[in-house]
Chains A and B, each alone.
Chain A
Amino acid sequence: GDSVTQMEGPVTLSEEAFLTINCTYTATGYPSLFWYVQYPGEGLQLLLKATKADDKGSNKGFEATYRKETTSFHLEKGSVQVSDSAVYFCALSDRGLTGGGNKLTFGTGTQLKVEL
């Protein structure tokens, strides 16, 4: 079945440092890929997405490129801020429901802590 593997956290960085959170996936079809962010006490918010190979998703300074050859979708940001502290989830969407719809398969999440 489909699966998503993320680097374990927590990742602790100083403000303005470069961020990379690794994500690799296994899927039988051609999934869409997503990064979601979860702030303390809140639900998930979509950060960015990419729908086909070589697509780059970007939002709020975060970027991730859909790499089919390495089955990866690593999240990057050039300069993190304290406000970026949250848990980041990589996810894929692959049609597989009996009724024809799709579901999200998530990684275990990577906690990011940004310090001054």
Chain B
Amino acid sequence: GAVVSQHPSRVICKSGTSVKIECRSLDFQATTMFWYRQFPKQSLMLMATSNEGSKATYEQGVEKDKFLINHASLTLSTLTVTSAHPEDSSFYICSAPEGGGVRAPYEQYFGPGTRLTVT
């Protein structure tokens, strides 16, 4: 199946700094990507939909100025956590759908996740 990668897999940063997380679709093009956040022992929470060449769509309650999303190419979306604080520490996961249309519904391919720790 298709592969989605994330970089870095783990990052520790100091409070007040910004961190960028990359999400890449390795063998397919993704005009849309999704970003999720997952706290310990909780389910994935959708943060935003990243659209290539246009602005991201954020879920209710997610601060767009804090979580900057850039989908500059068909294989890369980035999530920048600006002015990070300890409460932003979480597991961030991206996904990209592939397929769809007549032959089959699309499948969501998930990245391996990025563990962010803000000290």
Are A and B subunits of one complex? no
